[in-house]
Amino acid sequence: MNVAVDVTPLAQTRAGTARYLQALLPRVERDVGVERTSGFAHGRPGTLWLDIAWYPHVLPHRARAADVLHCPTYRGPVHTRTPLVVTVHDVAVFRYPQAFPRWTRSYSRLVVPRVLRAARKVLAVSEFTASELQAVLGIPSEKIAVTPNAVDAVFSPEGPRAEGDYVLAVGTLEPRKNLARTIEAAAKLDLELRVVGARGWGGVEARGGHVRWLGEISDEELARQYRGALCVAYPSLYEGFGIPVLEAMASGAPVVTSAGGATEEVAGGAAVLVDPHDVQAIAEGIEAAIGRRDELFTLGLERARAYSWDETARLTVAAYREAAA
């Protein structure tokens, strides 16, 4: 079997989708042939070209000889002769459209439902996202396969740890990551907040006398920051999975995250859950996580071991074969 995979997201981000591709593809290649293909993706002109030309026209043409075309986000062709598999990481743009740029909102509303209808199989990164696909976009359950994310070996409790007493927040600077409330919660506790993540959109800034923005860093440095943190605060307003929750637990850090939704699913009882809309609740959650550090260390490592990129690759290849049948 030969699978054409759109790897354009690797040129657009170092966050969730890129991590997904970087971990998944070498494992998938053990079982099927993979042809990696990508479009021009630099800046706003690149985004427009991708949506207007690459996905509707160029990508289907390039993939015409493949047995399956895999688009690792819901940006993909509406019409293609090649059986299409699409990965959906979340449906946040439909639940919280106000948190996204205008073009993303418009494209998603007009095109994404058609892309998902065109797909033979839709891969959801969590049970929560699978349920959202059914509830929000009407995708039938039999068309969906759950293929969870996992974490790389660099995220482990063994290794160097950053110095200092600090809370760590990880994520692109965008509205739904809820950074402003996390900053306020850390201030209530008189704790340093370190923020890892690329600059995003929506005017979100990592600012404050107690805030240190580290920007984008290597995985090795991120693992060092996880290990050294008093706890990791991830009270996102909406996630389809929440990779930092799993990375933090795999690194031995106690985690505070949002009750309900995908992050509670990923945490699996191994994190402190809070109302992400309540600053006081986030602050109390941080205190609780720090106080339960030894307990959460053990629970988190056990929970992280339940996720495996090898198993995700196996499920993905099974979906390819089903789509091609």
pLDDT digits 0-9 by tens, 195-242 = 999 998 888 999 999 999 999 999 999 999 999 999 999 999 999 999
pLDDT, residue 154, reads 96
pLDDT the model gives residue 212:
97
Residue 46's CATH number: 3.40.50.2000
Q: Which pLDDT belongs to residue 40?
A: 78
Would you call 126 helix, strand, or coil by DSSP?
A: coil
Residues 6+ apart with CB under 8 A from 89: 16, 17, 20, 73, 125, 129, 240, 241
141 in the same domain as 6: yes
pTM: 0.93
Does 13 score more than 70 pLDDT?
A: no
Residues 297 and 191 in one domain: yes
Query: Which strands form 2-6's sheet, in the order they lie side by side?
Result: 33-37, 2-6, 68-71, 84-88, 121-124, 144-146
C-alpha–C-alpha distance, residues 286 and 165, integer Å: 13
Residues 312 and 296 in one domain: no
- Cα–Cα distance for residue pair 25/85, rounded to 1 Å: 14
What is the rounded average pLDDT of the residues 245-253?
98
Rg (CA), the chain: 20
Same domain, 175 and 255: yes
Q: Do 52 and 144 lie in a common domain? A: yes
Q: What's the mean per-residue pLDDT of the chain?
A: 95
Predicted local confidence at residue 51, as pLDDT? 87
Provide the domain limits for residue 75. 2-150+308-324
Indicate whether 237 and 253 sit together in one domain.
Answer: yes
Number of domains in the chain: 2
Q: Tell me, yes or no, whether 156 lies in a domain.
A: no
Shared-domain flag, residues 47 and 80: yes
DSSP state of 143: G
Same domain for 123 and 229, yes or no, is no
